[in-house]
Chains A and B, each alone.
Chain A
Amino acid sequence: EAGVAQSPRYKIIEKRQSVAFWCNPISGHATLYWYQQILGQGPKLLIQFQNNGVVDDSQLPKDRFSAERLKGVDSTLKIQPAKLEDSAVYLCASSSLGRGPLQETQYFGPGTRLLVL
């Protein structure tokens, strides 16, 4: 079974530029998550999709970050314009059932490491 795919793996941009990340979850997984992990910290949930609908985006800085999952499969996360403090690893994860009462595991992709200069 193929895992969660992300691209690019690394990206270096200058502040005020735009950048986009792509994620393809495990086939059949309805729920997709984007996390931001700053060096030395735990991941912070940015947005959660259930199929193509947003479940939770309370920690997404909506003035500069946007995400979509148009067909309920793959997803893109965009930052426009980027700031220095956006330097982090952006992790995508997927799960089959979402955050219901049943035991559920999130499967994480390899991440995209972003450096903003």
Chain B
Amino acid sequence: ELKVEQNPLFLSMQEGKNYTIYCNYSTTSDRLYWYRQDPGKSLESLFVLLSNGAVKQEGRLMASLDTKARLSTLHITAAVHDLSATYFCAVDMIRDDKIIFGKGTRLHILP
């Protein structure tokens, strides 16, 4: 059974600091997604990672994928208040027709 674990689940940090959110999954996957969700809002796609070693960056966010370790990271550089949100990773197993989301990391950036 595919399991997706994110940590930490809650994170409060100061503006200007760097931090990393981790997404571990239990079996081989075909692709991995990162999404952002603001309170009361829907999900916004951030990154789609397809292959081992994939790295994508958008602004202060950088996502990477290590399929051998079954690990993806979302790194935040010099955090700003606008990045406060809940971040979800989701693992897609096309062969089994499964998309499983993690529980999300609630990020609060203090001004």
Interface residues of A (CB under 8 A from B): 33, 40-45, 48, 55-56, 58, 91, 93, 99-101, 103-111
Across the interface, which residues of A come within 8 angstroms of B102, CB to CB?
Answer: 42
- The residue that B97 contacts in the complex, of A44, A58, A101, A111, with Cβ under 8 A, is A58
**27 interchain pairs, CB-CB under 8 A:** A40-B103, A41-B103, A42-B4, A42-B90, A42-B103, A43-B43, A43-B101, A44-B101, A45-B99, A48-B97, A55-B97, A56-B97, A58-B98, A93-B43, A99-B30, A99-B94, A99-B97, A99-B99, A100-B94, A101-B94, A103-B31, A108-B43, A108-B44, A108-B45, A109-B42, A110-B41, A110-B42
User: How far apart sit A111 and B37, CA to CA, in the bound complex (Å)?
Assistant: 12
- Count how many pairs of residues, one from A and one from B, have CB atoms less than 8 Å apart in the complex: 54
Across the interface, which residues of A come within 8 angstroms of B41, CB to CB?
Answer: 110
Across the interface, which residues of A come within 8 angstroms of B33, CB to CB?
Answer: 106
User: How far apart sit A5 and B48, CA to CA, in the bound complex (Å)?
Assistant: 23
Interface residues of B (CB under 8 A from A): 4, 30-31, 33, 41-45, 48, 50, 88, 90, 92, 94, 97-104
| Contact call B50/A103, Cβ cutoff below 8 A | yes
A107 → B minimal CB distance (Å): 7
Across the interface, which residues of A come within 8 angstroms of B44, CB to CB?
Answer: 108
Chain A interface main SS type: loop
Across the interface, which residues of A come within 8 angstroms of B31, CB to CB?
Answer: 103
| Contact call A103/B88, Cβ cutoff below 8 A | no
User: How far apart sit A104 and B31, CA to CA, in the bound complex (Å)?
Assistant: 10
B46 → A minimal CB distance (Å): 10
